Structure 1
Amino acid sequence: MSSHDDISRHLVHLEVERRLAPRTLAMYGEAFERLRGFAHRHPVELREVQVHHVRRWAAQLHAQGLAPRSIALVLSAWRGLYRWLGRDGLVALNPVEGVRAPKAAKPLPKALPVDQAMALADHHPDADDAGDPRLAVRDHCIVELLYGCGLRVGELIGLDIGAGAATAGWIDAAEGSAHVLGKGSKRRSVPVGAAALKALARWLEVRAELAAAGESALFVSRRGTRLTPSQLRSRLKRSALQAGLPTHVHPHMLRHSFASHLLQSSGDLRAVQELLGHANITTTQVYTRLDFGHLSKVYDAAHPRAKRK
């Protein structure tokens, strides 16, 4: 039986027995066409393909510019085909088992340009739009702490009014520092700037009017209970729209902005690692790539020798 027949029967199996969606079937069909093309050019019969063939073909797909995720999908389709042939005793081994696609490069973290980050931090949400002027004060304080301290969402909403080992985190306004509980239950302290302390003082003036009796959370919702991550994301998105930012802003983007802008100004990777609470400096090094990308854009736009004819 020809390779065409094997693939056709397998596609029928996927459609009738596995009930794959038409879009998925089309993607599998494309993957099998690639396989048939490789086998024809080698040449080798489909049922006689070996592991070294598959490794070579995967490398060729990578050299042709196919993304790692797309190669992974192709290999998955091939692996399923040979597994199905193996169940019928038509192949002795699955040549795709153990063959993996190249690792996809981790995307760079998205950070705001300095001017946009400053516009958001300087923006005071309109009290009328917010519906409650106290919530506008709270939202401004949250932006100042996210961007000014590089806090994670969980670290920020975990802040309490009280201080001590029993609390997840707190802010010492007199000392100008925030003490938070980060990943792995590791505590760290980060400095809190003057702008954030000023915004915090304004929030504390009105917080008691919103907070439920006995609520220890620093940041509370309209109902007086601890603010949730989804509520924080929604309010931040709203603040960014009000400030006129042209992009969707999420809380971690402000953490990325904090790290990127600090590294651009200081160049001190070790200090940025400490402030972010990264256990390994390789995690922080992604911001050097982000910083280089920024510098490359500046160079390409401004330097006369960068322009290609």
Structure 2
Amino acid sequence: MTPLALPITLPKTLQQPLDRFYEYLRAERGLSLHTQRNYKQQLQTMAEYLVHVGVTDWQAVDARWVRQLASKGMRDGMKASSIATRLSSLRSFFDFLVLRGELSANTARGVSAPRKKRPLPKNLDVDEVNQLLEVNEDDPLSIRDRAMMELMYGAGLRLAELVDVNVRDVQLRSGEIRVIGKGDKERKVPFAGLAVEWVGNWLKVRKEVAAAGEPALFVSKLGGRISHRSVQKRMAQWGQKQAVASHITPHKLRHSFATHMLESSNNLRAVQELLGHENISTTQIYTHLDFQHLADVYDKAHPRARKK
């Protein structure tokens, strides 16, 4: 919601309750100055808009007006997070008025902010993946790291799944790994090619690092199961060492696996199974089709799109 062109002097029926609320925030809630300023800015802007449309009393602001305040913000191009902040400040203010007996009910409580768009992590292109995985150092930890990255990209594992894999879960000959996904659901994941080769290379040198009796496939330099944080740190370091422009994370490798598989196969159901998603809607959000491919399919398939 953008400020109106000219400053508006609020009527006492709107301004005085706001002043009491600001004093309450300062004296009783003990909020930071930054938070107090945010509340004041959001409420002032809404109050000015209400005056502009002829509403001069907070008692007149019912759920319909609250929805209109949110809609105005959307029309003005506000982000969903900013609208959520604005409605939150209004709910807090109305809670205060209800507590003081100046409102009978908080009409902002039943109005939800628009859902935030779920940001998609940027995937690596194939050249960046190849650049990252050109790790040819022969010390055990470097072999381990390449095996982890090859497996993340080659099988699309979640970070937790990678860390939790045990040696007994890996079948190199058949190219299968048993993983426990979200909700403790077990699935078998295929892997092949360089992923199989480098997991095999790691298994040959793993005994030089792993503690006796340690079941984990991937272990730290101390011999125990490697931690989530260590995997994240090592992959980021390899990204820098290999001069990859993108910041490397385990999730980015998984997302790249999903994106490249989907673009090559166009089989959403298969990618859903490989990723271990319970609902296909999750896969649709998590991955994105190459738009040019969609455009080509449309041009070839739609009767009214074919050139005569």
Partner AA of 1:152 in structure 2: R
Over residues 164-211 of structure 1, what are the superposed CA-to-partner deviations in whole Å (9 max), with x where a residue is unaligned? xxxxxx110111121211112222222211111111121111110111
Q: Which residue of 2 aligns with 1:217?
A: 216
Q: Which residue of 2 aligns with 1:273?
A: 272
Question: Which of the residues 70, 81, 94 maps onto 2:82?
Answer: 70
Q: Which residue of 2 aligns with 1:244?
A: 243
| Cα-Cα RMSD | 1.7
Contact 2:135 2:142 in 1 (8 A): no
Contact 1:121 1:147 in 2 (8 A): no
Shift of 1:268: 0.9
Over residues 242-289 of structure 1, what are the superposed CA-to-partner deviations in whole Å (9 max), with x where a residue is unaligned? 11112221111110000001111111111111111111111111255x
Contact 1:36 1:46 in 2 (8 A): no
Contact 1:119 1:243 in 2 (8 A): yes
Shift of 1:2: 3.1
Partner AA of 2:97 in structure 1: L
Residues 116, 161 of structure 1: CA spacing in aligned structure 2 closer, same or farther, 3 A cutoff? same
Partner AA of 1:269 in structure 2: L
Contact 1:75 1:96 in 2 (8 A): yes
Residues 294, 108 of structure 1: CA spacing in aligned structure 2 closer, same or farther, 3 A cutoff? farther
Shift of 1:81: 1.0
For residues 1-309 of structure 1, the aligned pairs below 5 Å read 1-48=12-59, 49-124=61-136, 126=137, 133-162=139-168, 170-288=169-287, 290-292=288-290
Q: Which residue of 2 aligns with 1:300?
A: none
Shift of 1:294: 8.0
Q: Percent identity?
A: 37
Q: Which residue of 2 aligns with 1:299?
A: none
Q: TM-score scaled to structure 2, two decimals?
A: 0.87
Q: Which runs of 5+ in 1 are unaligned?
A: 128-132, 163-169, 297-309
- CA distance in structure 2 between the aligned counterparts of 1:146 and 1:294, rounded to whole angstroms: 27
Shift of 1:95: 2.0
Contact 2:263 2:290 in 1 (8 A): no
Q: Which runs of 5+ in 2 are unaligned?
A: 1-11, 295-308
My pick for the range that moved more, 1-10 or 220-229, is 1-10
Over residues 124-170 of structure 1, what are the superposed CA-to-partner deviations in whole Å (9 max), with x where a residue is unaligned? 3x56xxxxx210110010000000110111211112122xxxxxxx1
Partner AA of 1:11 in structure 2: Y
Partner AA of 1:28 in structure 2: Y
Aligned length: 282
